[in-house]
Structure 1
Amino acid sequence: MTDPIAVFDGHNDILYRILMQPEAREAIWLLGEGKGHLDLPRMKAGGFAGGMFAIYIPSPMEEDDLGVEALMDRPPYALPLPAALPLRDSQAVALDLAAQLMWMERASEGAFRLCRTAAEIEAARAAGAIAGVMHMEGAEAIDPGCDALYAFHAMGLRSLGPVWSRPTAFGHGVPFAFPSSPDTGPGLTDAGKRLVKECNGLGILIDLSHLNEKGFDDVARLSDAPLVATHSNAHAITPSSRNLTDRQLDMIRDSGGMVGLNFATVFLRPDGRRDPAMGWEAVLRHLDHLIARLGEDHVGFGSDFDGATVPDGITDAAGLPRLIAALRAHGYDEALIGKLAWGNWLSVLRRTWGA
């Protein structure tokens, strides 16, 4: 049996899963407990060779209390967003999650490396280790003056989304709504514009996923880096507020940027439902559209593993070879598959980080 194709993934939420069950972190990460989407054994089995590991601050109200899952099973829906979170509380949780990521590196005994440059990612792959990049999904832990941004950068932060849908000091995210335009509110605040400048100066990738359309336009106007949406899909195929319009895709293409295909069923299925019982058609329609709009060099994967319901055909990280097989059956050649799985992400990270 040949080794699976190496995949770099734009977004996962395993840190959140560990946050919710800290006493079980060894079982979750090292052994594989048979739950969720990610653990070291399944990542190795599926060719998951690197990715962005998200620091995500949960709201005090649990998702079940919001009735999110039930509503997403019956479109149309427009879910209420939680309120903004306090800075100090958010910083405490973010530090805990950053520490968990560092523990994951230490506990893996060389099987997982926290990487700060594209060269370190390539070196990890060459050594047979999984490369992890510290990402922040929603900048609740960053103060408006951006002092904390420098502290997290020193810890390894190399990718940041100004918002996770709910508002922050920096801007406004899109609500989870279907069908809906991403044009749902005002753009970046003055602090958000400062954040873009500081991220550019530090070489931190600015993630446009979850940001509303006016905020997207502000980043595009202010940033001197490639525009990147780590885990978003095509609005023309699935008209969710979280997906990108053709106009936005054109702007990403023109900047030399990147979109990571989100595996979440609600952003893949044309009907906007959460149901994982689906074939490959919707996945392939989104990829075809993204490639047609962006070009072969600007599309990759952004799974949202451990943060979403994914299609039955993928199931978890060990199912990545089934996705690759579906791409081959659809007519994608090995050169294109290599770009989607690994090459395009490493290229955009080099252009953004400069190393």
Structure 2
Amino acid sequence: MRKANDLQERILSFDAHIDLPLEYGSGGMEADRDGRTQFDLVKAARGRLSGAALTIWAWPEFWIGPNAPHRPTPGFVEAARHEQEARYRIITGIARDYPERAGIAYSPADFRRLAHEGKFAIVISMLNAYPLGDEVSRLDDWAARGMRIFGFNYVANNTWSDSSRPMPFYGDSPDEHGGLSELGRQAVRRLNDLGVVIDVSQMSSSALEQVTDLSRAPIIASHSGIRGLVDIQRNLTDRELRLIQKTGGVVHIAGFSSYLRPFSKETLAKVNAMRTGFGLLDVENLSQASMPADPVFSIWPEKRFGEYASQLYAILETDPRAGLKEFGDAIDYAVKKIGIDHVGISSDFNDGGGVIGWENVGDARNVTAELIQRGYSDEDIAKLWGGNFLRVWEQVQNASRQSHDDITTSPSQETPTQRSTTQ
């Protein structure tokens, strides 16, 4: 722990995915107090976490309970956009209200500067294209507002891309678009042009592969697990790990218990007993156990689906949690498969993330201690904790500038003044 404390003081550490509840900033959830959420500036300082991707995400129709709302309608898109705006105000409000303690990082240089000034570096990320509707041009608007990471999917497909977790209840089918739709393909190209890092966590296998084929810059998975250790659709296969590696990208292993540790036999037995009560067959794999994804849900009434989902998640929450050992095992696996330069760290805090020993951002040095015990060098730990991501981010922005140069100038027309302006 002494070595971990010392190392955490010296390295740049980055958590690739943290969510904030819509109530963030209210009583007990203030950014400047050691409150009841897993992230605040007090905990970040205690853990010596340099910065994080704070995520704007929205999916208002995915509510669980007997009174769950009706299936998606156009009105839900507008509601999701309001939710995006609310989270954007929360995230940017941290930097506005506490300028001596935090700032927005618009580039890797910003991140390093803020960290060296002792301020928490906020990288604005966005998850789920659903609220953007059919308007790829909204990517330009959000990039202008500071978004630097974009992930296409959350739970359920959208008009841009298929999700790793399609929802039959919302009319989804696996590989509905065959991966990316034409909108999704346009978005990959535009994100490259804008210098925004593409995040493939939560995409279907086909969509992920197509992104790796189309992208002119490295990509990341901001919060994923390893299918070779826990066989659920949400986790990445060895092939998907290698596809991300081939772009020069980074796979950030998430500290999310059910992605790191298979459900126990006792929990699976409880799930199957509950399913029997709903007239369903026993689950055949972990993916079915972890998500309400049976095709028959497409014809179920809302109330019945809500009751099923509520009971399912109540059972899953009782399963024994993973700890730092399982988290370290997942990092070891990824490093052995794709190399130390292509693996990173994320928590998924405030949306189910957290393992025994890493309960909030204040425990970041415990992760470092686990890596030290496993024999990782100081240099390798620095890569895992943020060095790899900063390298990718730099490459993405450089590729964007090169693309801009190619479009706006040619070798015969370019002047020294033009070159200095575009760079």
TM range (shorter): 0.7 to 0.9
Q: Is the 8 A contact 2:349 2:360 kept in 1?
A: yes
Equivalent in the alignment of 2:360? 316
Amino acid at match of 2:58: I
SS at match of 1:11: strand
Amino acid at match of 2:247: S
Deviation at 1:63, TM superposition (A): 3.8
Equivalent in the alignment of 2:30? 28
SS at match of 1:31: coil
| 1:283–1:10 Cα change, 3 Å | same
Q: Please give the TM-score of this superposition, normalised by the length of structure 2.
A: 0.73
Q: Is the 8 A contact 1:276 1:312 kept in 2?
A: no
Residues 334-343 or 1-10, more deviating: 1-10
Equivalent in the alignment of 1:72? none
How many angstroms apart in 2 are the aligned matches of 1:196 and 1:146? 10
Give the counterpart of 2:85 among 82, 86, 95: 95
SS at match of 2:51: strand
The question of 1:137 aligning with 2:181 is answered: no
The unaligned stretches of length 5 or more in structure 1 are 68-81, 178-182
How many angstroms apart in 2 are the aligned matches of 1:332 and 1:320? 16
SS at match of 1:150: helix
Deviation at 1:84, TM superposition (A): 7.5
| 1:245-300 Cα deviation digits (max 9, x unpaired) | 00111111111110111000010113366546444332122111100111111111
| 1:320–1:150 Cα change, 3 Å | same
The question of 1:201 aligning with 2:193 is answered: yes
How many angstroms apart in 2 are the aligned matches of 1:66 and 1:326? 43
| 1:276–1:37 Cα change, 3 Å | farther
How many angstroms apart in 2 are the aligned matches of 1:8 and 1:148? 27
The question of 1:213 aligning with 2:214 is answered: no
Deviation at 1:305, TM superposition (A): 1.0
Deviation at 1:146, TM superposition (A): 1.5
| 1:278–1:89 Cα change, 3 Å | closer
SS at match of 2:165: coil
Q: Is the 8 A contact 2:344 2:388 kept in 1?
A: yes
The unaligned stretches of length 5 or more in structure 2 are 168-172, 264-285, 287-315, 402-423
Q: Is the 8 A contact 1:270 1:282 kept in 2?
A: no
Root mean square deviation, CA, Å: 2.4
Q: Please give the TM-score of this superposition, normalised by the length of structure 1.
A: 0.87
How many angstroms apart in 2 are the aligned matches of 1:38 and 1:64? 27
How many angstroms apart in 2 are the aligned matches of 1:327 and 1:169? 40
Give the counterpart of 1:340 among 370, 384, 403: 384
Deviation at 1:172, TM superposition (A): 1.6
Deviation at 1:62, TM superposition (A): 2.8
Equivalent residues in 2 for 1:268-283 (5 A)?
268-271=260-263, 275=319, 277-283=321-327
Equivalent in the alignment of 1:8? 14
How many angstroms apart in 2 are the aligned matches of 1:286 and 1:164? 22
Equivalent in the alignment of 2:341? 297
The question of 1:287 aligning with 2:331 is answered: yes
Q: Is the 8 A contact 1:83 1:167 kept in 2?
A: no
How many angstroms apart in 1 are the aligned matches of 2:29 and 2:150? 28
How many angstroms apart in 1 are the aligned matches of 2:338 and 2:248? 9
How many angstroms apart in 2 are the aligned matches of 1:255 and 1:236? 21
Equivalent in the alignment of 2:52? 51
Give the counterpart of 1:191 among 153, 158, 183: 183
How many angstroms apart in 1 are the aligned matches of 2:118 and 2:372? 25
The question of 1:159 aligning with 2:149 is answered: yes
Q: Is the 8 A contact 2:156 2:166 kept in 1?
A: no
SS at match of 1:10: strand
Equivalent in the alignment of 2:270? none
Amino acid at match of 1:320: A
State the identity %. 24
| 1:129–1:170 Cα change, 3 Å | same
Q: Is the 8 A contact 2:15 2:53 kept in 1?
A: yes
SS at match of 1:30: coil
| 1:64–1:338 Cα change, 3 Å | farther
Equivalent in the alignment of 2:305? none
How many angstroms apart in 1 are the aligned matches of 2:155 and 2:215? 20
How many angstroms apart in 2 are the aligned matches of 1:127 and 1:225? 30
Q: Is the 8 A contact 1:30 1:39 kept in 2?
A: yes
SS at match of 2:50: strand
Q: Is the 8 A contact 1:38 1:305 kept in 2?
A: yes
How many angstroms apart in 2 are the aligned matches of 1:12 and 1:91? 19
Deviation at 1:197, TM superposition (A): 1.0
How many angstroms apart in 1 are the aligned matches of 2:222 and 2:320? 21
Q: Is the 8 A contact 1:160 1:206 kept in 2?
A: yes
Q: Is the 8 A contact 1:276 1:309 kept in 2?
A: no
| 1:176–1:300 Cα change, 3 Å | farther
How many angstroms apart in 2 are the aligned matches of 1:111 and 1:10? 19
| 1:298-318 Cα deviation digits (max 9, x unpaired) | 111021011114212111111
How many angstroms apart in 1 are the aligned matches of 2:73 and 2:344? 31
Amino acid at match of 1:28: E
Equivalent in the alignment of 2:279? none
How many angstroms apart in 2 are the aligned matches of 1:243 and 1:110? 38
| 1:84–1:298 Cα change, 3 Å | farther
Equivalent in the alignment of 1:247? 239
Amino acid at match of 1:29: A
How many angstroms apart in 1 are the aligned matches of 2:255 and 2:57? 18
The question of 1:222 aligning with 2:225 is answered: no
Deviation at 1:88, TM superposition (A): 2.5
Q: Is the 8 A contact 1:114 1:134 kept in 2?
A: yes
